[in-house]
Amino acid sequence: MIELKENSPQQTVNKLPNRTREPRVLQTIWVVLRPMDYLETMQERYGDIFFAEFAGFPSSVIISNPQAIQEIFTADSKLFESGSGNQVMQPLLGSNSLVLLDGERHLKQRKLLMPPFHGERMRAYGQLICEIAEQVMSQLEVGQIFTARQYTQEISLTVILRAVFGLKEGERYQQIRKTLTAMLDTFNYPLSAIFLFFKALQHDLGPLSPWENFVRQRELLDKLLYQEIHERRSQPESLGEDILSLLLSPRDEAGQPMTDIELRDELMTMLFAGHETTATALAWALYWIHYLPEVREKLLQELNSIDIANTEPTEIARLPYLNAVCSEALRMYPVVFFTFPRILQAPMQLMGYELPKGMILSPCIYLTHHRPDIYPQPKQFRPERFLERQFSPYEYLPFGGGNRRCLGLAFAMFEMKLVLATVLSDYSLELAERRPLLPVRRGITFAPPGGVPLVVKGRN
């Protein structure tokens, strides 16, 4: 059992945190359709640790206190189950996804998946990312209005298909691209996202229903992925430096490779986690850069201080203000609002509360990132805060934390920086309509409404 820290602000042990009094159904509809308003209202009413209840889901404790988050992230991982708390993602990713695993299986898969996303392996993809960004953006003409998210989605998907799958242009490449996009677009609107959250709706309701369309696209994508896996296995001499090739090579301690089903589910995880999230984060960054002229001016000054075309991608990624802009974009509106939930496997004392076995702990990224005691004027987009101080992994956590921290963290940041540097160096852009934007639900992620329309003012 975890004991209270001596400096814990509340020494009296209470049974449970403040319980929300609003009806379950109201809370459920509220959090699905207007999550920011729900979270901010509940935090104001009940504090930074409160007990929320949603229809069709187990009750959970929502936490935005950095000290409590630290205790959770640094606790023995055996104290929690997390995979079983992520069942909402099972239809998207499959039961063998790292996201849905616990215990030894989670550790084993994490070990196998980690090497391609770090060190020299990752840096080798730098030039490829810049080339893809240039190629996708070259479709634009001066004076054209385009949707930022549509283009960042094409860039991030092409990076995934080339760097992760090692696919070259061809029929299967185009089929995978088209099918995945159609599958994810099923949940493009808050109301259609409800199908992911309620099992009772996950039935064939006719050929025009969102769920039937999703299942049909998923079956087609599965067929394409298994074709690619079988082809690679039968032609070991064709294996390259892409991540799929690397995953086909490793063996676990028992000498066993990953099975086809495990590979399929991990590829789906990388397709979703590495494509959907990065595309959204880039769209937000482009919005803020062009919504605030002073941010754009400062960033362009930094980019103009080096010769982007002849600078190593790793050097570009070290630019301090570029890093600060990307970090602030992920702070302001994180792509997902919660870390993976932790289900207690034994009682735990946390910040003066006695939490029973079976309780779900949900550290809230959005609320933590908007604490005024950590981020003064949290509603203001201000990259300088990341130049002025460093934030702990319990104060700044866009990629989650503990043993569930996103494996692709370094890759995602690397890609964000290189894409922004490439786009801003090559093109002069402007918002088509300069207005405040608030996130809207897109499946389990949160994206800018309308995808951020931009105008091409000129080429550099």
Question: Of the spans 238-242, 259-263, 323-327, which averages the highest pLDDT?
Answer: 323-327
Whether the per-residue pLDDT at 308 is higher than 80: the answer is yes
| 233 touches 248 (CB < 8 A) | yes
- Per the prediction, the chain carries an average pLDDT of 85
For the whole model, what pTM was predicted?
0.86
Q: Provide the phi-psi class of 143: left if phi over 0, else alpha when psi is between -120 and 50, else beta.
A: left
Residue 2: pLDDT above 80?
A: no
**Structural domains in the chain?**
18-459 (1.10.630.10)
Cα 102 to Cα 81, 111, 158, 414, distances in angstroms: 6, 13, 31, 28
Other CB atoms closer than 10 Å to residue 289's CB: what's the count?
Answer: 24
- Separation of alpha carbons 267 and 271, rounded Å: 6
Express each pLDDT in 348-406 by its tens digit: 999 889 999 999 999 999 999 999 999 999 999 999 999 999 999 999 999 999 888 88
Asked whether residue 100 carries a pLDDT value surpassing 90, the answer given is no
* Digit-coded pLDDT (tens) for 179-198: 888 777 765 555 455 555 55
Phi, psi of 55 (to 5 degrees): -65, 130
pLDDT digits (tens, 9 = 90+) for 281-296: 999 999 999 999 999 9
User: Using 50, 70 and 90 to split pLDDT, how confident is the model at 8?
Assistant: very low
Q: What angle do CA 156, 209, 35 make, to 5 degrees?
A: 60
In sequence order, which residues have a C-beta less than 8 Å from that of residue 20 and are 6 or more positions away? 27, 42, 45, 46, 50, 51, 52, 53
Show Cβ contacts of residue 264 under 8 Å, excluding neighbours closer than 6 positions. Answer: 94, 96, 222, 225, 226, 229
Task: List, in order, residues 6 or more apart from 233 with CB less than 8 Å away.
Answer: 248
Has residue 261 got a pLDDT over 50?
A: yes
Are residues 409 and 399 in contact, defined by beta-carbon separation less than 8 angstroms?
yes
Helix residue spans in 243-292 (DSSP H): 243-248, 260-271, 277-291
If DSSP codes are grouped into helix, strand and coil, which group holds residue 143?
Answer: coil
pLDDT value at position 280? 94
Determine which of 115-124, 312-321, 421-430, 439-448 has the lowest per-residue pLDDT on average. 115-124
* HSE (side-chain half, CA atoms, 13 Å) at 346: 7
Q: Which pLDDT band, with edges at 50, 70 and 90, does 313 fall under?
A: very high
